[in-house]
Each structure stands twice: as C-alpha cells, then as structure tokens.
C-alpha cells in the first residue's frame, strides 16, 4: 500500500481537473492506497459546503463524503486561499482540514508519488 499526494489548483466549476483528481483518488483507494488531497487557489471552492448540485456543473460533495468514510482519504484546503475567497472555517464541508501550504509540502515529503495539477 502506498501513499499518493494530489495537489489541485483549478476551480470546481470551470474546469474538470478536480473531477479527475477525485476520480483518481477513488481509484487509488480502491487499489488499497492512501490519498492526501490538497487544494489551493481556486480549487479551495471544493471544500465549501452547501453547494447545490446542478446537472450542468460538477458537484463532488457526495463522492468526497464516500472517500472520507473509507478512512484512507484526507483532504486539506489552503487556509489563506480559502479565507481570501470568503470561505470561512464554518463554511467548510465536514471532513476537510485547513492548513497553510507547508502542510502540502510535508505531505509530498512522505508520499510515494505526487501528482500536482496546476490551475486555470
């Protein structure tokens, strides 16, 4: 069993990078791996709770809750990036952590593989 760290920087609405990264996380967990998931920049919108699921837009809250329930998935949002966008701690979806960017680097340090998906 290995550890995969995935960092994503693009937004949930307006890009399918987060959809891909969450699907990849699910596949890795099904194979028995652990996944650390980091969102920074516009990707922090993934951590915002209360998003309505329209058919025209990506909505990943249900899938994320399934991943959290496995116990092999942890997701962390960049605190400064979130605050800059008006996403407060109380707006954060259950299961998420918020840390500064050094958390991501520490996760990369102990990862077997890092997949870094840039933004925009």
Partner 1 sequence: MATKKFAFVVKSLPYKTEASRLALTHAIASQTVEIYLEDGDNVEPVLAFIGDGVLNCLRNQKAMNTYGVTSLEQHIKNSLLLDLKVLICKEDVEKFGISEDALIMDAEDIGGETRANIVAFSEIMKEMDSSNHLLFF
Question: Among residues 40, 44, 47, 76, which is the contact residue for partner 1, using CB under 8 A?
Answer: 40
Question: Among residues 17, 42, 44, 58, which is the contact residue for partner 1, using CB under 8 A?
Answer: 42
- Identify the bridge partners of residue 114 per DSSP, sorted by sequence position: 5
Using the rule CB under 8 A, is 29 a contact of partner 1? no
Using the rule CB under 8 A, is 59 a contact of partner 1? no
Using the rule CB under 8 A, is 95 a contact of partner 1? no
**CA–CA separation, 87 and 44 (whole Å):** 8
> What is the nearest approach in angstroms of partner 1 to the Cβ of residue 65?
26
Q: Which long-range contacts (CB under 8 A, 24 or more apart) does 53-62 make?
A: 57/12, 57/13, 58/12, 58/13, 58/16, 58/18, 58/19, 60/12, 60/18, 60/19, 60/22, 61/93
Using the rule CB under 8 A, is 116 a contact of partner 1? yes
Residues that bind partner 1 (CB under 8 A): 7, 9, 40-42, 100-106, 108-109, 111, 114, 116, 118-120
């Amino acid at each position: 069993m290995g550890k995969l760290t995935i960092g994503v920087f693009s937004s949930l609405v307006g890009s399918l990078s987060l959809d891909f990264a969450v699907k990849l996380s699910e596949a890795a967990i099904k194979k028995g791996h652990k996944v650390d998931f980091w969102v920074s920049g516009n990707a922090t919108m993934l951590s915002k709770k209360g998003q309505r699921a329209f058919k025209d837009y990506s909505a990943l809250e249900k899938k994320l809750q399934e991943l959290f329930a496995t116990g092999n998935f942890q997701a962390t949002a960049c605190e400064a990036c979130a605050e800059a966008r008006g996403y407060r701690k109380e707006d954060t979806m259950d299961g998420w952590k918020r840390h500064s960017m050094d958390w991501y680097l520490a996760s990369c340090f102990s990862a077997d593989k890092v997949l870094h998906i840039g933004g925009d």
